Amino acid sequence: MACLTVHNIVRRLVRYIVTGVLLLPLPLHAQFLSIQIDVEPDVVAQTVRPLDFGQIPTGSGEVRISLGDSQMGIFSIHAIQTQRLLVTLEQPEFLTHERLDARIPLTLQMAYTEFGINDFSQATPIGQENEEIIVQPIPGNITTVWSTAHLYVYGWLDIGMVPEGVYSGDVVLLIEYE
C-alpha cells in the first residue's frame, strides 16, 4: 500500500488538474488558408529546319551531316520552365528504295541546347531513347514561365553502289512530357 503523504497527494492533484485541462475543449483562434494552383503542362514542338541529305550520286560512300552543318535538322520545343521532357528519336536502320529491293544504311544523332539558345556550338549530345531534358529558364527573364529548348539532328548515310531512285524512311521525334 502506498503511503499517502503530502507530496503524493499534491502529485495526484496536479496530475488530475493537468489531465482535466487537456481534456477540456479549448477555443482555437486560427486561420487556415488553402491555395491550389493548377498549371496544365503544354509543349509546342516546331521544325525550324528539316534534316536534308539532298541528292547524292551512287557510290559516294559515307555522306555526313555534322552538328552545325546547314543541312542538319533543327527543332524547337517551347514548354513551361523546368518542365521534364523525355525525347526519343525513332529511326529506321536503312532508307529503302521506293520500288526496288535496295537499302542505304542511316545513322542519326541528336544534341540540344536549353535556356532559349539556338546555338549548336553550345549543344549537349544526347542518346536516342528516352533522354530526359528539363527545360531551363531563360537567364534574366522573369516576365514569362515559358522557355525553349532546341534539338539538332544530324548523322550520315553510306551510299554504296545502289540503284538510282528515291530512298525514304520514317524518322520520328517523339516528345513526352509530364
CB atoms within 10 A of CB 126: 17
Burial of 132 per CB tally in 10 Å (0-12, 13-18, 19+): exposed
Cβ-contact 108, 155 below 8 angstroms: yes
What's the predicted TM-score (pTM) here? 0.74
Tell me what the mean pLDDT of segment 66-70 comes to: 96
More confident residue, 104 or 129: 104
More confident residue, 77 or 142: 77
> Which segments within the chain are labelled E, that is strand?
43-49, 61-65, 73-80, 84-90, 94-97, 103-113, 124-126, 131-134, 146-159, 167-168, 172-177
pLDDT score of 30: 58
